[in-house]
Chain A
């Protein structure tokens, strides 16, 4: 401090010291606590005057028994002190001489762990000097937690919105089935699984006579038929199967599992039969048929690893179906 040549400040009374540094401790030359500030007393939970400083506090730094707070070597240096007890409390301290032969004044603060200390001892703003920034530190801690919580909530909302948008982008509005985008994503996933030894089969399905229904009875009728087809396909498939409407009157199915032609051809037959059931619409009975092309991932030399090859195989089979007679399912040849 700049005293303009004065080396000693006139004696500071204990009440004034308590105001300026409520967590200060005056340690006499005999190592006993001569006086302790109101807040450190509150935190210690007992009167400290008369007790040995080393009885009440241990020094973490500078370490152990060498931490003699009266030592001139330690004055002005940061001390890490610990209030002895069941649940030791950590403090930051600094010591300075109290005056010739008077011992030292050790000022204490909580440092970065202020929050813990404050709540354990139910301290209030009045326990700190108005110049002490401990309260501001607590404010910052609390406000930071609130802001982080808002950010986390915002993140969750954004993620939910993104998931919702993604789902919409992959769904056919009319039927609720996957759309072409959703189908392509699922096919890529299935091909990837096939590479890891999980085979699947691919059905491509075209409706027969759909155009005629649309032309004769109008688009609303066409939509009703599509919805009925979607429903029929859902009923014939399991939870893990994917049913998609690729557009127009084209549908596709991805069926995980190693089922062979002996199971799949009958399944396709049941689907076609279900689709052939007339659909009631405004007093009319609308009727369409279906052709299905089937390809099995493990019938291909690459085991279904390339989705385009599998698609081409199913497509070729589908093309062959009408030649085999309308309303038929044809399985792609191996290779």
Chain B
């Protein structure tokens, strides 16, 4: 797992549950206390162990942790902006998810986000399928989709089917509310 992803998980755990939880989980998962380095690569198993350990300590299912992580990512302004680039509205954004892997690779080669396929089934129903390389990815994705729906001002039902590596989305209203502002070029503000 790329250091950037691991770092974002570390940041999520620290910000959401506190530095103590992070320290204890890192120790139990046999990670260095200062945590992950952004530009290095780590064994996948370390990441999954970390989440399992954190989940056990928090007495929550790992699935909930993954979804919360997804929602947390959208609270990071630089990440939220990068995601808003993919679509003018939420429908566009959903359709563009089949390029998610490539967009991420363009940014950081080797970051290795799973490939997604997008099936528009009509009536606002969208099925997203991902390859099984990353347990919990679908749940994290569901968290991202929920938060991005709010960001765009869309109303959507989001249902992860983790066991089958897919997420079902039903877009009920692309313009339910105003959503958040997004300017294409944030020069001077970035």
Residues of chain A touching chain B, judged by Cβ–Cβ distance below 8 Å, are 115-116, 118-119, 122-126, 130, 135-136, 138-140, 142-147, 150-151, 153-154, 157
Contacts and interface: CB of A to CB of B under 8 A. Distances in A.
A154 B184 CA distance: 28
A138 B37 contact: no
- The dominant DSSP class at the B interface is loop
A150 B185 contact: no
A125 B188 CA distance: 19
Given A139-B82, A142-B190, A125 B39 contact: no
In the complex, the 6 A-B pairs of residues with the closest C-beta atoms, listed nearest first: A119-B185, A143-B107, A125-B88, A139-B85, A118-B185, A119-B187
Contacts of A138: 85, 184-185
A146 B38 CA distance: 12
Interface in B158-190: 182-188, 190
Interface in B101-135: 103, 106-108
B39 A142 contact: no
B185 A154 contact: no
B184 A123 contact: yes
Contacts of A142: 78, 81-82, 85, 186, 190
B184 A124 contact: yes
A125 B184 contact: yes
B103 A139 contact: yes
A242 B183 CA distance: 57
Specify which of A124, A125, A153 lies most central, judged by the most chain B CB atoms within 10 Å of its CB.
Answer: A125
A114 to B, nearest CB: 8
Nearest to A145: B190
Interface in B61-97: 78, 81-82, 85-88, 92
Contacts of B37: 154, 157
B4 interface: yes
* Most chain B beta-carbon neighbours within 10 Å: one of A124, A143, A157: A143
Contacts of B39: 150-151, 154
Given A135-B184, A147-B108, A151-B39, 9 more contacts: A115-B187, A116-B185, A138-B185, A139-B82, A139-B106, A142-B81, A146-B82, A154-B37, A154-B38
Contacts of A125: 85, 87-88, 92, 184
A157 B37 CA distance: 9
A139 B37 CA distance: 24
User: Which of A136, A142, A150, A154 gathers most chain B CB within 10 Å?
Assistant: A142
Task: Bin the interface of chain B by size.
Answer: 20 to 34
B188 A124 contact: no
A219 to B, nearest CB: 31
30 contacts: A115-B187, A116-B185, A118-B184, A119-B183, A119-B186, A119-B187, A119-B188, A124-B88, A124-B182, A124-B183, A125-B87, A125-B184, A126-B88, A130-B92, A136-B85, A138-B185, A139-B103, A140-B106, A140-B107, A142-B82, A142-B186, A143-B82, A143-B107, A147-B107, A147-B108, A150-B4, A150-B38, A150-B39, A151-B39, A153-B38
A135 to B, nearest CB: 6
A146 B184 contact: no
A135 B38 CA distance: 26
A122 B108 CA distance: 28
B98 to A, nearest CB: 14
Contacts of B87: 125
Nearest to A158: B37
Contacts of B88: 124-126
Contacts of B107: 140, 143-144, 146-147
Nearest to A139: B85
A121 to B, nearest CB: 9
Contacts of B183: 119, 122, 124
Nearest to B37: A154
Contacts of B188: 119
A320 B106 CA distance: 72
A136 B86 CA distance: 8
Nearest to A122: B183
A145 B190 CA distance: 9
B62 to A, nearest CB: 27
Contacts of A151: 39
A125 B86 CA distance: 9
A311 to B, nearest CB: 40
Contacts of B106: 139-140, 143
Contacts of A124: 88, 182-184
